[in-house]
């Protein structure tokens, strides 16, 4: 075995390992957020880090997203490398002024005098019955903002690898961790490290249709692809990974091979990332298309609380399969 030993980890542990590595590697790095210290993080990501690194570097913040995100921006401007945890993307709405009006603009408004090497981690998405105020996928909104970089780790490798390059980036980077992924378990090399945060990735090669997914919908797309393969339809599954700036060329190259695309997006269809990707495909690959681009998104309702309604509102593999069958004429 030339490769290093493999270890079994969860998505949560992979992120913790990445944070821990950053804390060890660079004393300017610190973690700040609600309940990240004594409680170990709302989703248990930072469990144990307070004991290891102490309250100076694992800082519990008051219940004011605007205040602690703003503090993170200030720290970044002052030369630190803060990792700010916002409990869910819904709560980041309280800090939008800080994120959009300050983090995303100061470099530009200061004529480049200030860099904002800030990382904000937040949980996104539904599926855990935590209802409408904790379940939405607002990545598309934030992807609208120039000056931000948005990452959506959907695999263990990305959960482990995206933090280091995000911290190294002089601009604010938002990392969206889908809540349904924290318990995902798998193997990673014990010495797994940083990865690129520029490019989309093909998670499953295929020839008949491109399923564009990210974060929580990657698994949905992969399940759909398996089901389609049983019908002889080979779906290529493309994981966007980087939501801003979008890796257009990866999408276009894939669609140029498959001539069809379905975008699977947990956000609402209207004004969504799915809309943006669809528009770019139309702009850049219109003459490659063999069918209109399709989108499978969340129902346009506030995310319901009851399990069956929540599932009905979310993009499901069956819907993706039906959409692909319809566009390939395989729906009989």
**What is the closest distance, in whole angstroms, from the C-beta atom of residue 252 to another protein in the complex?**
13
**Interaction with another protein in 137-176: which residues (CB under 8 A)?**
none
- Determine if 108 is a binding residue for another protein (CB under 8 A): no
Give the dihedral sign, CA 99/167/143/219. Answer: negative
Taking CB under 8 A as the binding criterion, the range among 19-27, 94-102, 106-114, 321-329 that sits at the site for another protein is: 321-329
279 forms part of the interface with another protein (CB under 8 A): no
Q: Indicate whether 328 belongs to the interface with another protein (CB under 8 A).
A: yes
Nearest approach in angstroms of CB 180 to another protein is 31
Helices (H), 136-264: 139-142, 156-161, 163-168, 217-230, 248-258
Q: Which stretch binds another protein (CB under 8 A): 81-89, 186-194, 282-290, 306-314?
A: 282-290
290 forms part of the interface with another protein (CB under 8 A): yes
Q: For the range 268-274, what are the long-range contacts, defined as Cβ-Cβ under 8 Å and sequence gap of 24 or more?
A: 268/297, 268/298, 268/299, 268/300, 269/295, 269/297, 269/298, 269/300, 270/300, 271/140, 272/140, 272/297, 273/139, 273/140, 273/143, 273/214, 273/240, 273/243, 274/140, 274/212
Beta pairing, strands 149-151 & 185-189: unpaired
Name the DSSP class of 100: I
* 180 close to 209: Cβ distance less than 8 angstroms: no
Q: Does 235 bind another protein (CB under 8 A)?
A: no
Q: Identify which range of 60-68, 104-112, 272-280, 320-328 contacts another protein by CB under 8 A.
A: 320-328
Structure tokens given for 318? 């069956």
Span from 6-14, 30-38, 118-126, 288-296 in contact with another protein (CB under 8 A): 288-296
The C-alpha atoms of residue 99 and residue 225 are separated, in whole angstroms, by 37
Measure Cα distances from 325 to 36, 226, 320 in Å.
45, 13, 9
151 or 324, CB closer to another protein?
Answer: 324
Which one of 289, 299, 309, 322 is in contact with another protein (CB under 8 A)?
A: 289
By CB under 8 A, residue 253 contacts another protein:
no
Q: Is 291 in the site for another protein (CB under 8 A)?
A: yes
Interface residue with another protein, options 78, 245, 292, 302 (CB under 8 A): 292
User: Which residues are tagged catalytic?
Assistant: 65, 134
Asked whether position 327 contacts another protein by CB under 8 A, the answer is yes
Q: Does 302 bind another protein (CB under 8 A)?
A: no
Which has the closest alpha carbon to 235: 324, 128, 105, 151?
A: 324
Q: Which residues bind another protein (CB under 8 A)?
A: 259, 286-292, 326-329
């Amino acid at each position: 075995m030339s490769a290093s030993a493999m270890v079994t980890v969860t998505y949560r542990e992979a992120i913790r390992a990445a944070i821990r590595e950053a804390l060890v590697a660079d004393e300017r790095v610190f973690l700040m957020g609600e309940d990240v210290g004594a409680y170990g993080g709302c989703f248990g990501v930072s469990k144990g880090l307070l004991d290891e690194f102490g309250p100076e570097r694992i800082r519990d913040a008051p219940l004011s997203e605007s205040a602690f995100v703003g503090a993170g921006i200030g720290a970044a401007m002052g030369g630190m490398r803060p990792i700010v945890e916002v409990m869910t993307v819904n709560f980041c709405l309280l800090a939008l002024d800080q994120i959009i009006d300050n983090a995303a603009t100061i470099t530009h408004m200061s004529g480049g005098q200030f860099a904002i090497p800030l990382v904000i981690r937040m949980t996104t998405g539904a599926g855990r019955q935590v209802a409408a105020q904790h379940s939405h996928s607002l990545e598309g909104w934030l992807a609208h903002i120039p000056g931000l970089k948005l990452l959506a780790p959907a695999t263990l490798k990305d959960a482990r690898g995206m933090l280091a390059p995000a911290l190294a980036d002089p601009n604010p980077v938002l990392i969206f961790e889908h809540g349904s992924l924290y318990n995902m378990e798998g193997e990673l090399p014990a010495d797994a490290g940083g990865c690129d945060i520029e490019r989309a990735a093909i998670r499953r090669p295929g020839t008949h249709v491109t399923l564009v997914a990210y974060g929580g919908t990657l698994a949905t797309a992969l399940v759909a692809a398996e089901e389609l393969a049983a019908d002889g339809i080979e779906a290529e599954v493309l994981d966007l990974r980087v939501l801003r700036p979008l890796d257009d060329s990866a999408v276009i190259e894939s669609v140029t091979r498959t001539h069809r695309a379905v975008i699977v997006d947990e956000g609402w269809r209207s004004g969504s990332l799915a809309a943006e990707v669809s528009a770019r495909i139309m702009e850049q690959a219109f003459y490659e298309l063999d069918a209109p681009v399709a989108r499978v998104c969340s129902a346009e309702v506030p995310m319901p609380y009851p399990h069956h309604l929540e599932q009905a509102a979310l993009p499901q593999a069956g819907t993706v399969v039906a959409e692909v069958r319809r566009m390939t004429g395989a729906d009989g």
